[in-house]
C-alpha cells in the first residue's frame, strides 16, 4: 500500500478549496461564502475515510465538480453547494431532510435528482436508465440538476485512467451515448467536445494518440498560417473601428476522427482542420448588422465556399446557439472555417443554458433561451406520457437530442425547427396531436407528398387530414421526433387495450361453447399452443382477428392427443439436453478467449455485427437467449450495449494459443491495370497461405474497387496482409470492413 502524507493532502485539499472560492468570488453575494464553507466541511467530514480508485482523497471529486460548475458552466452558489454535497446522501448516513434543514429546499431537490436509485430492477431494465429517468424528472423543475451531472461526468471522464478496462468502456460509452449529446443540446460546446475526445481516448487509444501527435506536430506551422491568414482581416477591422478579438484553434480530436472515418481519408486530407473565430464587442441592437459587415470584410480577402455558409444569427439553433459560419479558401489553397459572433453569442456558445439566464431579461423579444425552454417542455411531455420501461424512454429522449436541424414553415409562414430527417408526419405532430393522428399526407411547396416525405430547409408544409385515419405500427418507422413517437405509441397502446378486452371476451365465449373452463391455467396453455410470449399478446391477436376463434377448437383436439404422447416428449427433452451437453464439451476445445472477472474459458458466440478476430479489443455481452456474445469495442452496437446494459457486460481478452481461422473483410482501392487481380490473389494465397471465401471486383473509368472476405488468425496476421497488399503496384488503399 502507498504511504499517505496526511499533511500534504490537507494542504492540497485547502488549496483546491481556495481556488474554488477565488473563481466564485465575482458572483458571491453576502453570506454565500459562509454557506459554501459549511457545505465543504460537511462533505469533507462525510468523505473523510473514502478514497477514489486512483488512491486520492474522495473530497477532490466534489471540489473539482464544483469548480467545473463555476469555471466552465458559470453557475452560482446553489450549484456550488449542491456539487460539493452531490454524493453525500448516496455514500453516507446523511439524509435529504438534513440537507433541506441546513441549506433549504432548492439544494435538497437538486441533490435528490443527482442521487442514484439503489435496488434491483426488473429484467430488461437498466439501473443506468432508471437513474437517468429520475434525474430528468427533476430537470423539469431545475435545469441545474443536469448541468451539475455534466460537471460530475466530466470529472469522472478526466480521471477514468485509474479504472479497470471494462469499467472504462462502460463509462465512456455511456458518456458518448447520453451525456455528450446532452451537453450539445444545452449548448455546452466546450464540455461536449472534451467528453467526445475523452471517449475516443479510452475506447480507441491508438487512434487518439496518433491524431494528437499529428495536431502537435503541425502546431508551429498552424500558428504561422493563422497569423498570416488573419493579418489583412485584423487591419481592415481596426480601420473600420471594430473592437474585437480573434482566436485560432484546431478542430477537436473527435471531430477530426469523425471526418476521417466518414469520408475514409487520412489526417492530412481533412480539409478544414483550422477554425478562426472573430468575436466582436457590439451593442445588442447592432449585433446582426455588425456580424454581416465583418463577413463582408472576410470575403473581400478570401473567396467563400457558397455551400458552407451557415446563418445561425437570423435563426438561432434550438439550443440557443447564435453565430455566422463560412468556409473560405486561403491564399495557400487550404479551406478555413471562419466563425463570426459577438461576445454575448460567444458566452452562450461556451456556457450554454447557464449564460441564457444572464441574457434572458435583456432580450425583449423573449427569443433568447426560448428554444431551450421549449425543449425542456418537450422533455416534460415525454416524461408524462412515458409509462414504458426506462430503456425505451432513454431511446425516445436521445431522439430529442438532435444535432442538426431543418427550418420549415407552416402555410401562414410560422417557423418550426425539427431534427434533420424529420418527415411530414413529424411536422403534423409538431403542430398538434390530433392533426398528427389524422394525417394522410401533406402538400410540401404546393406538391402532394406521402406522410413519409423527408423535409428540407425552407419547405412550406400544409398537412392533409381525414377523420377516418388512425395511427398504425408502421408510422413509428416514418417519424424521428420523440414527440411524434410518444404520441403514436400512446394511440397504439389505447388501441391494443381495447383489442385485448375484445379478445378476452371472444376466448371466454368460445371456451364456454366447447364446455371448457376459463381459467388462468387454460389461458396459459392456449398461449403456449399458439407460441406467444404473453396471455395479452394472445388476446390481442384474437381481438384483431389474426388468430381465428375457430382455431381454438384445434387446441381442444390437441389437448386430447397430448396425454398419450407425454412419455415421448420427455425423451426428446432429454435428447436436446444431451446435445447441448456435447456442444458445451466441444466448445471449450475451440476456445481462445478468456471471459469474466476470473478470466475463465467459457462457451461463447462471436457477434455477426462486427466479426471480432484474435487481437481485437473485445468485451463479452450476456444475451437473453444466446449465452455470451463477443463484440469488438469499435462495434456499431457497442455504444448502446455498454450504455444501456452495463450490468450485462463482462471482461474478455484473447490468448493466442491456437491457429484458428476467423473471417475478416478487406476493401481495396487502386488504379486498374492488366494482371492486378492476379497479383492481389497471389499475395493472399501464395505468400501468406490465406484462404479466401469471396472476392468481388468493380472497375470503372480506370478505378479498381474490390471487397475480399478471407480467413485470418489474428489482427497481427491481418495487419501483415494489409502491409503486403499495399506494396502491390497500383494499389492506393487497403482497409478492413466488418
For each of the domains in the chain, give its residue range(s) and CATH number, in order of start: 6-188 (1.10.3210.10), 213-351 (3.30.460.10), 371-472 (3.10.20.30), 492-569 (no CATH), 593-653 (no CATH), 662-737 (3.30.70.260)
Least confident of 37-46, 643-652, 702-711: 643-652
Confidence category of residue 721, pLDDT binned at 50, 70, 90: confident
pLDDT confidence of residue 66: 93
pLDDT confidence of residue 563: 56
d(CA 314, CA 318): 12
Does the pLDDT value for residue 462 go beyond 80? yes
pLDDT confidence of residue 579: 36
Q: Is 91 a catalytic residue?
A: yes
pLDDT confidence of residue 73: 84
Question: Which residue in the block uniquely carries the three cell numbers 446523511?
Answer: 94
For the stretch 521-540, pLDDT in tens is 888 888 877 777 788 888 88
Contact 257, 307 (CB under 8 A): no
Choose between 577 and 409: higher pLDDT.
Answer: 409
d(CA 428, CA 433): 8
Least confident of 33-47, 455-469, 517-531, 544-558: 544-558
Question: Which segments of 140-263 does DSSP mark as H helices, in order?
Answer: 144-158, 165-174, 180-185, 189-203, 205-217, 219-239, 253-263
Does the pLDDT value for residue 361 go beyond 80? no
Confidence category of residue 370, pLDDT binned at 50, 70, 90: low
Confidence category of residue 120, pLDDT binned at 50, 70, 90: very low
Closest CA to 131 of 347, 394, 337, 317: 394
Q: Is 90 a catalytic residue?
A: yes
Cα separation values, 182 from 133, 195, 240, 372, 636, Å? 14, 11, 40, 12, 20
Contact 24, 70 (CB under 8 A): yes
pLDDT confidence of residue 325: 93
| pTM for this entry | 0.66
Does the pLDDT value for residue 377 go beyond 80? no
Mean pLDDT of 396-404: 62
Bridge-partner residues for 707, per DSSP?
Answer: 667, 696
Contact 259, 207 (CB under 8 A): no
Q: Which three cell numbers stand for residue 415?
A: 417557423
Q: Which three cell numbers stand for residue 585?
A: 464439451
Interacting residues of 100 by C-beta distance below 8 A, sequence separation 6+: 107, 108
pLDDT confidence of residue 679: 81
Does the pLDDT value for residue 693 go beyond 80? no
Bridge-partner residues for 673, per DSSP?
Answer: none
Mean pLDDT of 76-96: 86
Select which of 5, 45, 90, 384 is catalytic: 90
Does the pLDDT value for residue 172 go beyond 80? yes
pLDDT confidence of residue 294: 95
Contact 663, 611 (CB under 8 A): yes
Q: Report which listed range, 40-54, 274-288, 550-564, is most confident.
A: 274-288
Mean pLDDT of 369-391: 60
* Element containing residue 501 per DSSP (H, E): helix 482-513
d(CA 390, CA 490): 16
In a 10 Å sphere around its CB, with 0-12 CB exposed, 13-18 middle and 19+ buried, how is residue 62 labelled? buried
Q: What are the CB-based long-range contacts (under 8 Å, 24+) for 322-331?
A: 322/348, 322/349, 323/349, 324/291, 324/292, 324/295, 326/295, 326/298, 326/299, 327/272, 328/298, 328/299, 328/302, 328/303, 328/304, 329/302, 329/303, 329/304, 329/305, 330/225, 330/229, 330/302, 331/228, 331/302
How much of the chain exceeds pLDDT 70, in percent?
Answer: 80
For the stretch 481-506, pLDDT in tens is 878 888 888 888 888 888 899 888 88
Mean pLDDT of 679-703: 74
pLDDT confidence of residue 711: 78
Q: Which three cell numbers stand for residue 155?
A: 470529472
For the stretch 223-248, pLDDT in tens is 888 889 999 999 999 999 999 999 88
Select which of 32, 49, 72, 91 is catalytic: 91
pLDDT confidence of residue 428: 94
* Element containing residue 437 per DSSP (H, E): helix 433-437
How much of the chain exceeds pLDDT 90, in percent?
Answer: 19
pLDDT confidence of residue 65: 92
Across the chain, what does the average pLDDT equal?
Answer: 80
d(CA 311, CA 341): 11
For the stretch 506-516, pLDDT in tens is 888 888 888 88
Mean pLDDT of 329-351: 87
Does the pLDDT value for residue 288 go beyond 90? yes
Question: Which residue in the block uniquely carries the three cell numbers 476445445?
Answer: 589
d(CA 355, CA 321): 11
Does the pLDDT value for residue 580 go beyond 60? no
Contact 538, 547 (CB under 8 A): yes
Does the pLDDT value for residue 295 go beyond 90? yes
- DSSP letters for 388-413: S-HHHHHHHHHHTS-SSEEEEE-TT-
Q: Is 629 helix (H, G, I), strand (E, B) or coil?
A: strand
Cα separation values, 372 from 183, 400, 427, Å? 12, 12, 19
Confidence category of residue 390, pLDDT binned at 50, 70, 90: low
Choose between 484 and 577: higher pLDDT.
Answer: 484
Closest CA to 381 of 126, 132, 137, 113: 137
pLDDT confidence of residue 262: 82
Confidence category of residue 384, pLDDT binned at 50, 70, 90: low
Amino acid at each position: 500500500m502507498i504511504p499517505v502524507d496526511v499533511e500534504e493532502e490537507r494542504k492540497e485539499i485547502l488549496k483546491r478549496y481556495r481556488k474554488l472560492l477565488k473563481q466564485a468570488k465575482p458572483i458571491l453575494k453576502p453570506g454565500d461564502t459562509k454557506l459554501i464553507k459549511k457545505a465543504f466541511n460537511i462533505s469533507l467530514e462525510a468523505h473523510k475515510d473514502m478514497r477514489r480508485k486512483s488512491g486520492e482523497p474522495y473530497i477532490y471529486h466534489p471540489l473539482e465538480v464544483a469548480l467545473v460548475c463555476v469555471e466552465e458552466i458559470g453557475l452560482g452558489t446553489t450549484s456550488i453547494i449542491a456539487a460539493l454535497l452531490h454524493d453525500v446522501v448516496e455514500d453516507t448516513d446523511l439524509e435529504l431532510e438534513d440537507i433541506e434543514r441546513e441549506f433549504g429546499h432548492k439544494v435538497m431537490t437538486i441533490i435528490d435528482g443527482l442521487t442514484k436509485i439503489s435496488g434491483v430492477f426488473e429484467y430488461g431494465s437498466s439501473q443506468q436508465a432508471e437513474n437517468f429517468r429520475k434525474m430528468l424528472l427533476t430537470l423539469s423543475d431545475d435545469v441545474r440538476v443536469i448541468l451539475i451531472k455534466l460537471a460530475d461526468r466530466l470529472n469522472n471522464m478526466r480521471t477514468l485512467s485509474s479504472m479497470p478496462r471494462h469499467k472504462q468502456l462502460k463509462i465512456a460509452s455511456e458518456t458518448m451515448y447520453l451525456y455528450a449529446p446532452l451537453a450539445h443540446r444545452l449548448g455546452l460546446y466546450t464540455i461536449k467536445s472534451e467528453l467526445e475526445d475523452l471517449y475516443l481516448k479510452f475506447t480507441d487509444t491508438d487512434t487518439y494518440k496518433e491524431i494528437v501527435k499529428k495536431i502537435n506536430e503541425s502546431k508551429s506551422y498552424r500558428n504561422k498560417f493563422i497569423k498570416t491568414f488573419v493579418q489583412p482581416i485584423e487591419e481592415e477591422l481596426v480601420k473600420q473601428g471594430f473592437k474585437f478579438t480573434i482566436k485560432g484553434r484546431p478542430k477537436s480530436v473527435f471531430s477530426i476522427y469523425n471526418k476521417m472515418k466518414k469520408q475514409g481519408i487520412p489526417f492530412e486530407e481533412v480539409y478544414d482542420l483550422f477554425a478562426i473565430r472573430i468575436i466582436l464587442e457590439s451593442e445588442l441592437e447592432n449585433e446582426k448588422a455588425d456580424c454581416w459587415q465583418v463577413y463582408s470584410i472576410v470575403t473581400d480577402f478570401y473567396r467563400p465556399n457558397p455551400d458552407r455558409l451557415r446563418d445561425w444569427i437570423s435563426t438561432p439553433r434550438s439550443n440557443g446557439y447564435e453565430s455566422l459560419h463560412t468556409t473560405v479558401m486561403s491564399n495557400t489553397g487550404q479551406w478555413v472555417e471562419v466563425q463570426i459572433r459577438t461576445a454575448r453569442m460567444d458566452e452562450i456558445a461556451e456556457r450554454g443554458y447557464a449564460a441564457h439566464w444572464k441574457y434572458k431579461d435583456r432580450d425583449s423579444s423573449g427569443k433568447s433561451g426560448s428554444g431551450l425552454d421549449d425543449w425542456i417542455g418537450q422533455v416534460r411531455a415525454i416524461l408524462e406520457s412515458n409509462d414504458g420501461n426506462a430503456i425505451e424512454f432513454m431511446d425516445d429522449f436521445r431522439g430529442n437530442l438532435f444535432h442538426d436541424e431543418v427550418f420549415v414553415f407552416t402555410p401562414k409562414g410560422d417557423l418550426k425547427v425539427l431534427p434533420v430527417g424529420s418527415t411530414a408526419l413529424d411536422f403534423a405532430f409538431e403542430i398538434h396531436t390530433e392533426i398528427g393522428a389524422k394525417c394522410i399526407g401533406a402538400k410540401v411547396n404546393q406538391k402532394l407528398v406521402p406522410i413519409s416525405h423527408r423535409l428540407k430547409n425552407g419547405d412550406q408544409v400544409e398537412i392533409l387530414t381525414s377523420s377516418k385515419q388512425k395511427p398504425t405500427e408502421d408510422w413509428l418507422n416514418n417519424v424521428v421526433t420523440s414527440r411524434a413517437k410518444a404520441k403514436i405509441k400512446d394511440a397504439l397502446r389505447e388501441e391494443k387495450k381495447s383489442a385485448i378486452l375484445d379478445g378476452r371476451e371472444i376466448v371466454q365465449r368460445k371456451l364456454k361453447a366447447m364446455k371448457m373452463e376459463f381459467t388462468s391455467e387454460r389461458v396459459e396453455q392456449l398461449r403456449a399452443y399458439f407460441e406467444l410470449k404473453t396471455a395479452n399478446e394472445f388476446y390481442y391477436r384474437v381481438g384483431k382477428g389474426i388468430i381465428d376463434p375457430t382455431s381454438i377448437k384445434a387446441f381442444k383436439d390437441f389437448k386430447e392427443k397430448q396425454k398419450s404422447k407425454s412419455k415421448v416428449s420427455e425423451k426428446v427433452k432429454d435428447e436436446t439436453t444431451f446435445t447441448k451437453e456435447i456442444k458445451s464439451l466441444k466448445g471449450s476445445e475451440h476456445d481462445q478467449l478468456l471471459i469474466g472477472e476470473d478470466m475463465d474459458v467459457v462457451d461463447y458466440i462471436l457477434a455477426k455485427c462486427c466479426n471480432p478476430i484474435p487481437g481485437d479489443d473485445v468485451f463479452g455481452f450476456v444475451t437473453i437467449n444466446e449465452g455470451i456474445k463477443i463484440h469488438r469495442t469499435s462495434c456499431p452496437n457497442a455504444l448502446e450495449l455498454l450504455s444501456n446494459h452495463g450490468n450485462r457486460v463482462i471482461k474478455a481478452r484473447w490468448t493466442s494459443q491456437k491457429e484458428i481461422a476467423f473471417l475478416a473483410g478487406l476493401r481495396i482501392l487502386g488504379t486498374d491495370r492488366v494482371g492486378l487481380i492476379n497479383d492481389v490473389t497471389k499475395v493472399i494465397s501464395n505468400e501468406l497461405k490465406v484462404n479466401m471465401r469471396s472476392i468481388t471486383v468493380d472497375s470503372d473509368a480506370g478505378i479498381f474497387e474490390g471487397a475480399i472476405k478471407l480467413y485470418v488468425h489474428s489482427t497481427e496476421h491481418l495487419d501483415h496482409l494489409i502491409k503486403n497488399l499495399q506494396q502491390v503496384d497500383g494499389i492506393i488503399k487497403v482497409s478492413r470492413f466488418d
